[in-house]
Structure formats: structure tokens, C-alpha cells
Structure 1
């Protein structure tokens, strides 16, 4: 492939927003039972890329993990929540609640349509998944196919893939 021109930082600045958005309320990733703080920083970068927000639980170690993992120059859109209560409130408000989980009735990632309404992407604990009491609050479940021997993808990778799909970028 000859003649490929890589975009410069100046090129990118001319087509991207200058300030971080305030909450648009369209896409929110919700790692509500986080295990590793580094995943929160990765998800913040993805949120910035697709114009999404993040909802995180009020755990003592989460603010430090977000500060450490946030490599963006500007602040990010982060909502501090009580997981089950917040999911109930969002669902009652008419938002679609989609969990990323291994389940028989799951939609394959390739078949997941772009978000046509405000959508929450619920991510579970890396070892135990989404708790049973939260599964009842989901409108849909999406599964990311794998052929390897691992049980699942890293939570930040899985969340990023689903956000890009819902945003219509892939």
C-alpha cells in the first residue's frame, strides 16, 4: 500500500473536539464490581474515544485508581453510584441496560445493534461476573465470542469492544 499518509497531531486536533463533553447521557459503561483498578483507566480512554461516560461504585480505592489510570489531559465523565439502586433507577428512566456476560440467551457482539436510545453497558467482576441480583435488571446480554482457552476477555477489553459497537464505530 503506497502513498499512505499518517495523520499528524495537528490533523487530528482539527477534526476532534477541543474540550471533553459534559454527560451526553447516550452511552455509559458501568464496571460496577471492579477487581483491578488499571481497567478503570483503560475504560476512561475508551469512554473519551466514543463520547461515553463511566459509572463506578463508591469503593474506597476507586478514586485513586481513576486518578492513576486517567491519562487524559482533561477530566472525564464519571458518575459515582450505588450499583443496584442506580441500575434500577436507570431502567425506570427508560434507559436500556445491557450486560456483558456469558449466558445462553446472549446476543453475539456482531449482532448487537447500534444504541438507538440511552444505554448502560454493565460489566461484572472479572472472577465472578455480574451478580445474580443484577442479572434481573438487564434488558439484554451480549457475549463476545472466543475460540481460545480463556474463559473470558479482560473486563476493559470487553467493555471497550461493546462500547465501540454500540457507538456505531465498528
Structure 2
């Protein structure tokens, strides 16, 4: 038998759907062109759907390769049933080089020497692309040279890394200044 919960002395009120709708933007954004999550070497479609929902939550866009299975994965993952901001990238290395040459900060999410710890990552103050690597092999070596910075998510467990969607979501919230 469990003991009764202890009262904190304060009343917690859940926000209703109406309250939530009133506090959020009235309609979807087409492209704010500030934060872009870039899982350019995806392995699992479910991760793209999760990242798409996170992008909506933080006001970011998603950059993905035009693999045949990607549109279906995005459709399944888009629980909002509204158009999402998606940039189609046919040549990841060329696209990253163009972003960087145009003044965009290109940030890799990777286990690397001299990486910034997630807790120390400042909110994005200029257009930023968060590059996410392949689930098993990470960001390809050729793409590492196109990164301005690398962020690492510390872990104390036995796993080597997080799922791409989870890692990307954590970094997006931090870049958006929402945590």
C-alpha cells in the first residue's frame, strides 16, 4: 500500500487546450529561416517525424534529403496535419558549404574533441543549421570540415549516444532559447 502523496501547499492547475491555443501562434509559419534541423543522412523515418514535431514546437524548419521514403515518413510524423517547413536538400555537402558561405552558423551534433557541452550552448543569435548525422556512423568525415562548431550531449549511462530525434530535439530547444 502506497502512502498518500504529501501536499506542497500549492494548487496546480493544468492548462486547457483553449489556454494553450491562446498562448501560441495563431497559424503555422511558412519559414522563419532562423533555425534549421538538418538530419541529412537519415536512417529511420520515425525520427524524421519526431524532429518535424519538435521543429514546429520551437519555430524551426527541417532540411532533409529527397530519398523516396522521406515524404511518407514526414506525412506519418506530421501529427499536426498542416504543412510544415521542409527544405529538400539534394547535395548535403554542397548545401552545407552554401549555408556556411552565406553566413549561417553550421553546428554539428556529434561526439568530438573540443565540442561544446549542451548545457553551455547559447541560444542562436543568427541563422543556424543544426546538422545531425547518421544513426550508426554519425556525420560523414567530409561534412565535419564544413562545421563551425560541434555540440555534444553528455551522458552518464552505458550508451554511446542518443537517438537522432532525441539529440536533435534537445539541441533545437537549447538553440531556440526555450530551456
TM-score normalised per structure 2: 0.93
Residue 158 (structure 1) aligned to one of 164, 167, 175:
167
State the 1:22 CA deviation: 1.4
Contact residue 34 and residue 60 of structure 2 kept, 8 A: yes
2:100 is matched with 91
Matching residue of 2:42 = 34
Moved more, 129-138 or 61-70: 61-70
Q: Please report how far the alpha carbon of residue 84 of structure 1 lies from its aligned counterpart in structure 2 after TM superposition.
A: 0.9
1:75 paired with 2:97, answer: no
Are 1:6 and 2:14 an aligned pair? Answer: yes
C-alpha deviation, 1:85, in angstroms = 1.1
1:110, distance to aligned residue in structure 2 (A):
0.5
Q: CA-to-partner distance for each residue in 1:100-126, whole Å, 9 max, x for gaps?
A: 000011000001111010000000001
CA distance in 1, matches of 2:59, 2:157: 31
Hey, what does 2:4 align to over in structure 1?
A: none
Equivalent residue number for residue 52 of structure 1: 60
Give the CA deviation at 1:18: 2.0
Q: Select the residue among 128, 132, 136 that pairs with 2:137.
A: 128
2:117 aligned partner: 108
Correspondence for 2:71:
63
Name the larger-Rg structure.
2
The question of whether the paired residues in 2 share the 8 Å contact of 1:19 and 1:74 is answered with no
* Cα contact 2:53–2:77 (8 A) shared by 1: no
**Under a length normalisation based on structure 1, what TM-score does the superposition of the two structures give?**
0.98
Q: Offset of 1:73 from its aligned partner?
A: 2.6
Q: How many residues align?
A: 170
Q: SS where residue 102 of structure 1 aligns?
A: coil
Show structure 1 runs of 5+ residues with no match: none
Runs of 4+ in 1 over 6 A off after TM superposition: none
In structure 2, the gaps of 5 or more residues are: 1-7
